[in-house]
Each structure stands twice: as structure tokens, then as C-alpha cells.
Chains A and B, each alone.
Chain A
């Protein structure tokens, strides 16, 4: 499953607070349609690359990137300093 939401929290003291909720699930259908539209060009590029070099597999790269993107689900990075009351929190769900 590809990530559906990115939560971003940034606090810096009492002055600055940022909280973002990025709904990736809205982006994926558009990305999918975009990929479909790009497909003929991708196939053409793959053929040219195979003929020219024979070692670059465009679709394999896209597949690997997709699996990397899917594996990002569950990643959490949280950095906070209690003294300065600052926080950076990134969660991919």
C-alpha cells in the first residue's frame, strides 16, 4: 500500500506552530492518470534505452521506486528539544 497521509508538526517555542496534514490519497489517482498518459512515451524511452545501452531498465526503475514509496508507510521521525520547547515530527501513514 502506498502512503495515504503525511503528518508534519513543527513547533518552535510558544511563538511558532505549524501543523500540516497532507492527504496523499488525493494525489495518487492524478499520479496514476498522469502515468497512464505518459505510458507511450515511457515505452518509447525504454525501447531507445534498450537499443542504445541495453542496461537501463526504465520500468524496473519505476517498479523499484514504487516499492520504495510503498515501504515508506509507517516511517516516523521525531526530533524534540524540551529545553527550547521545539519539535519536528514527520509521520507517513
Chain B
């Protein structure tokens, strides 16, 4: 392994690769199976969060503040309506989605998929900061 490291450093010294490429290669070398197993063991398993709400916070430079807290149950309730959409309308929705590059059938979304989606929303966070100082933050929490 040390030989490979030396070779990367030598290539960097000779200018054959950039510092960033060398760093990537060294990182890749460092992630050998034994080390990965040690790293995985060191990381404690995360307790699943019981998220209930989606928060949207907007702070504008004009001092307009918007705080919205949306219960995630609304997603579940909203999805119940998909089963009530008439087939013609569903075809139209699906073809429109396909035109926009989203190739999936709305009617095929199962309750388990929604639960999985909601579970994974716990890790989602969107932060937007504009040049004029406006900020938008979207995240999920309890």
C-alpha cells in the first residue's frame, strides 16, 4: 500500500496529476476494506427520528418573515386522493409528468412508498441564500 502512496506522491511531484486528483487517489487508497469496516463500526447507528412536520422559514432582507409548519400527515392524506383520480385524468397527469422528464405512474405509488419517503425526509434540509440576503430554509422535524 505504501508503494502506491509513494507513486501517487511522485506523480504529483512530477506534475502529472493535480493536488486534488492526488487527494482523491489517496482517499480511495485509504478506503480499503479493513479500514472501511473500522469506520463503519465507529459510526453509531442513528435512532430513527419521529418527524411530524415540515418547516419552511423565509427571512427576507425587507424584514418579511414567513414561518410555515406543515403536518406531514397531509402528504398521506393527499395521496389518498390519487386513488380517486379518474383514469382519464390519471393518464393525462402521467403523460404530462413524462413530458417533464418524470417517468413514473402516480397510480403505482403505494402507502409503503409514502412512509419510506416521509422517513427519509428526516435527513432532508434545503438552505437557499440569495445575493440580497433573503434566506429560505426547508427542513423536517418533530
Binding site for B on A (CB under 8 A): 55-57, 60-61, 63-64, 67-68, 70-83
Task: Select A79's contact among B65, B73, B76, B87, beta carbons within 8 Å.
Answer: B65
Contact with A along B7-37 (1 / 0, CB 8 A): 0000000000000000000000000000000
Interfacial chain A residues near B65, Cβ < 8 Å: 78-82
Chain A residue nearest to B78 in the complex (CB): A68
Q: In whole Å, how far is A67's beta carbon from the nearest beta carbon of chain B? A: 4
Interface residues in B61-81 by Cβ distance below 8 A to A read 62-71, 73-74, 76-78, 80-81
Chain B interface helix/strand/loop/mixed: mixed
Closest to A83 in B: B63
**How many Å lie between the Cα of A70 and that of B78 in the bound state?**
11
CB within 8 Å for A67 and B80 given contacts A72-B74, A79-B64, A83-B63: yes
Of the candidates A71, A76, A80, A83, the one whose C-beta lies within 8 Å of that of B77 is: A71
Docked Cα-Cα span, A34 to B68, in Å, equals: 33
The SS class assigned to the A binding surface is: mixed
Task: Give Cα A68 to B63, complex, Å.
Answer: 33
Q: Which residue of A lies closest to B82 (CB)?
A: A64
Nearest CB on A from B90, distance (A):
11
Q: How far is the CA of A21 from the CA of B63 in the complex (A)?
A: 27
Query: Complex: how many Å from CA A75 to CA B84?
Result: 24
What separation, in Å, do the CA atoms of A48 and B52 have in the docked complex?
40
Q: Separation in Å of the A66 CB from the closest CB of chain B? A: 9
Q: Give, as a whole number of angstroms, the nearest-CB distance from A32 to chain B.
A: 19
Provide the residues of chain B in CB contact with A81, threshold 8 Å: 62-65
